[in-house]
Amino acid sequence: MSLRVRITLLLSGLTALIVIIAGFTIHQLTQADIRKSIDEKLTVQLSEVSETPVLVSVIQTQRFFSNLNRRNSNDPSFVERRLDIEIPTFIKSQDDIILATEGYPDFSGIIVPYGFSDIETDGAKWRVLTKTMEVIDFSAIRNIHSAINSGRISYERGMEQLANSDKVNYEILIQAAVKRTSINTTLQDLRQRLVLVGILAVIVSAIAGWLLGTTLLKPLARLARHAQVVTNSADLSNRVEDTYGPPEVETLALEINEMLSRLELSAHATDEALRSSRAFTSNVAHELRTPLTSMRTNLDLPKIHTDMDTSERIQVLNNLVLEHERLLSTLESLRLLARGDLSEAGIFEEIDFAQLIAAIISDQQKIDPECVIKLELPSNPPLLSAWRQGMTLLFRNVIENAQIHSRSSNQKGVQIDIFVEVINQDLKVVIDDNGPGIPQSERKQVIERFIRGSNASTVGSGLGLALVSQQSAIHGGSIELEESPTGGTRAVIILPVVIS
């Protein structure tokens, strides 16, 4: 189900719920108001009828008048009253029916309680108000009324006599009833109108929800189209537009772009891993072929030349040992190169450079006690954010490379000078040796993998300076080869990101 349909259904459902609640409330309030209005009419009717002058007139004439006018209209005691002759009214004295107006229902056999009640008779429902009152003897009423009419006594005097009379002989029952059919008809009409309004409201809300959903989903539709373009493209550097209007959609576009960036980095890392794996396989196949072939040749020599003397056999064994050492060195270098290609920023840590370089120098001097290594550090040695094993590999290879090549071409002894300084938040390390040096035309080539200089000794795999270049690049630095003051090689290593 699409989001647009869901919005439409949700809005329609909410509208229907609101219409139902509002309709029910209006229906109940209307029903209560109608009942209250009817009850008020019944109350007024019985109140008017039960007043003594009116009741006397009704009893005497046994009928209702629209207007009860007195002969002396100027007399303030005569008050114009109005009775609702359309409300069926019933007056009974004990068992004698005094008056039952037209339309009054037959409640024979039905006990009607005092006050308001709902009575059903002959299939019709009525709202009934019942009231009782006590009046004086009818003959006394007539005598006083005759005296008032003849003028023997005043109206006020006659009313006073009626009020003060203690000859109460009759209990009067007065009832007024209104048929509830009008209420039911009104409520039925109201219900029909409410249902009609509700249906129209739901239809209108559904149309409005559909249009609203279309409007709201336009930015998402554009975002989906752009995302589809990116999906169909093999280039993960493509990005979706992040200017769609609503902040929520723009946030979603930014998150998609962030996800694409992470995917791009992940894909790049995967490509690099595959490239490194292929390169490692190719390098292993290329570099191991020569030493393995040489070892096989040396192993075959005793079989071919069975008359070899002891000194020749020892020479063959020494060659095998050298080839074996070269093979191990090559494998270790390839392993370190592959690990360096796959290194991540998470392995970096704070390193005290002074302690690191001092430990490397100490290890190298243990291997070659005759090598003289001088170290000059700044007064405040820096802390590096670096990969410890990578830093150790970098400087150990530079120093070891200087030792190997300087020893093979120098009879006076090997001397290596190391100068360290901090320049503009960069660490600069200069390492000079007194070896044969590297011709200027070869200085950029020898830092490539499996490239050895023309002045290099026979020992080595051609990976030492390649490892140095790799680690410098991993740490965001660089290495340059120059000529040292002593005619040997100067390695200038610059590593940024110094923690002071």
* Contacts of 376-381 spanning 24+ positions with Cβ under 8 A: 376/417, 376/418, 376/419, 376/420, 377/420, 378/420, 378/421, 378/422, 380/422, 380/500, 381/352, 381/353, 381/354, 381/420
Q: Give the pLDDT score at 168.
A: 42
Contact 360, 392 (CB under 8 A): yes
Gyration radius (Cα) of the chain, Å: 58
The Cα 327–Cα 295 span in angstroms is: 10
Cα 8 to Cα 194, 201, 217, 412, 460: the distances in Å are 22, 13, 12, 93, 76
Q: Give the pLDDT score at 70.
A: 41
Q: Which CATH class is domain 345-499?
A: alpha beta
Residue ranges for the chain with pLDDT beneath 70: 1, 52-83, 94-95, 135-141, 162-170, 242, 244-245, 276, 279-291, 326, 329-330, 333-334, 336-346, 408-412, 450, 455-462, 497-500
CA atoms within 13 A on the CB side of 150: 7
* Contacts of 442-450 spanning 24+ positions with Cβ under 8 A: 443/480, 443/481, 443/482, 444/481, 446/481, 447/479, 447/481, 449/283, 449/337, 450/283, 450/286, 450/287
Q: DSSP 3-state assignment of 171?
A: strand
Cα 14 to Cα 189, 222, 359: the distances in Å are 25, 29, 76
Find how far residue 385's CA is from the centre of its chain. 37
The Cα 410–Cα 36 span in angstroms is: 123
Q: Give the pLDDT score at 79.
A: 32
Cα 209 to Cα 215, 221, 272, 437: the distances in Å are 10, 17, 51, 81
Phi/psi region, residue 448 (left: phi>0; alpha: psi -120 to 50; beta: rest), is beta
Residue 332: how many other CB atoms lie within 10 Å = 12
Phi (first) and psi of residue 316, to 5 degrees: -60, -40
The residue count for the chain:
500
Q: Give the pLDDT score at 334.
A: 65
The Cα 55–Cα 73 span in angstroms is: 19
The Cα 117–Cα 128 span in angstroms is: 5
Q: Give the pLDDT score at 421.
A: 92
Contact 107, 121 (CB under 8 A): yes
Sign of CA dihedral 231, 235, 237, 243: negative
Report field, pTM of the whole predicted structure over 0.85: no
Q: Give the pLDDT score at 336.
A: 64
Q: Give the pLDDT score at 276.
A: 66
Q: Give the pLDDT score at 237.
A: 73
Q: Give the pLDDT score at 419.
A: 94
